[in-house]
Amino acid sequence: MTQSLTVLGIETSCDETAAAVVRLTDGRAEVLSDIVLGQAAQHAPYQGVVPEIAARAHVEGLDGTIAAAMRDAALGFDDLDGVAATAGPGLIGGVMVGLLAGKAIALAHGKPLIAVNHLEGHALSPRLVGVGPSFPYLLLLVSGGHCQFIGVLDVGVYRRLGSTIDDALGEAFDKLGKLLDLGFPGGPLVEKHAKNGDPTRFALPRPMLGREGCDFSFAGLKTACAREVDRLGSPTDQDKADLCASFQAAVLDVIEDRSRKAMRAFDPIWGAKGRLVAAGGVAANRAIRARLEGLALEQRYEFHAPPMKWCTDNAAMIALAGAERLSRGFSDDLAVPARPRWPLDETSARLRPSHKPGRKGAKA
């Protein structure tokens, strides 16, 4: 018997106000609409995301974004089977805006609410293209706020193998962009400048390279780049390109090494040999994709990544996660809270000394 579920997704965890409608039919996803309202112009003067500005922009733009998504899908709210909204982790002001909107729509139209973990959205995003990779698979999640290896065993069943012990990779990219005054967001601009640079000019460290396990560390690499900028004084355009290229070369070596270790750790336990997935905003970096594709080919793996537009924050992945959960009978009470921290694998998060829970809970 054919099962078809149509879900509205809402995403407001950082600086994108997004809404989308996804239809899931027998495990195959179809994106009916996908609207993303960016905030880059509002945050550009500060060269980083300002939480208060982000939250206000979500309040101002979300109603119109949802209306546009429903209009593009040619559907009314009564045609939906459920409403999915990001409930964390993220900037709490923004998360609250989207989650409250989702609750209001669900309540007004008598639809189930699905509170989605933002990381689960990224974890399932490669499945937006038809069926996508089958479970289980090894996921490298790399974004502005997160950098970790996750065993995606099924919808709602995740095991974290490794994480960053300090900074996320996307944050490191953005920090270098800020140090070199490239503009905001820094990550794509660092990648662009790296194409014209000499990756051998600066001898930058490769943190954690060759270590056991598959954890990451990028704080030392950021510090090394800051010291080079200080040494240069007033970097020329070529200086900037060379430092970007050297930074990216270091990142590629670290990612390949850590991914190789993660494969060795994951495959014997859960038997996912053959499927490596990259997702998150940094997975849009073409050099990183190329290095991972090369590693996958060497190891006789399939390599999967979502299309570029679904690497960065979007609501299509939230709608898909909501539909996948709803198809398995999961939904949430309207009292479900917004969470600034929400690990996919809370047990692993609580066991890590560097991720001990604080007032806001265990870090993601």
pLDDT in tens, 90-140: 999 999 999 999 999 999 999 999 999 999 999 999 999 877 899 999 999
Q: Where in the chain are all domains bearing CATH 3.30.420.40? A: 4-129+310-355, 137-305
The residue written with tokens 């609750």 in the block is: 103
Q: At 329, is the secondary structure helix, strand, or coil?
A: coil
All residue ranges of the chain with pLDDT < 50 are 353-355, 357
Q: What is the DSSP letter of 78?
A: G
pLDDT at 146: 85
Dmax of the chain from CA atoms?
A: 68
pLDDT at 145: 83
pLDDT tens profile 244-288: 999 999 999 999 999 999 998 887 776 656 799 999 999 999 999
| Nearest-5° Cα angle at 121, 126 to 88 | 160
Cα(201)–Cα(287) distance, rounded to whole angstroms?
18
216 and 169 in contact (C-beta within 8 Å)?
A: yes
Q: Which CATH number fits domain 137-305: 3.30.70.260, 3.40.50.2300, 3.40.50.300, 3.30.420.40?
A: 3.30.420.40
Task: List the alpha helices (DSSP H) in 180-236.
Answer: 186-194, 219-232
357 and 340 in contact (C-beta within 8 Å)?
A: no
pTM of the model: 0.92
Tell me which fold the domain 4-129+310-355 belongs to. Answer: Nucleotidyltransferase; domain 5 (3.30.420)
Please report, in angstroms and rounded to a whole number, the separation of the first and last CA atoms in the chain: 38
204 and 191 in contact (C-beta within 8 Å)?
A: no
Q: What is the DSSP letter of 15?
A: S
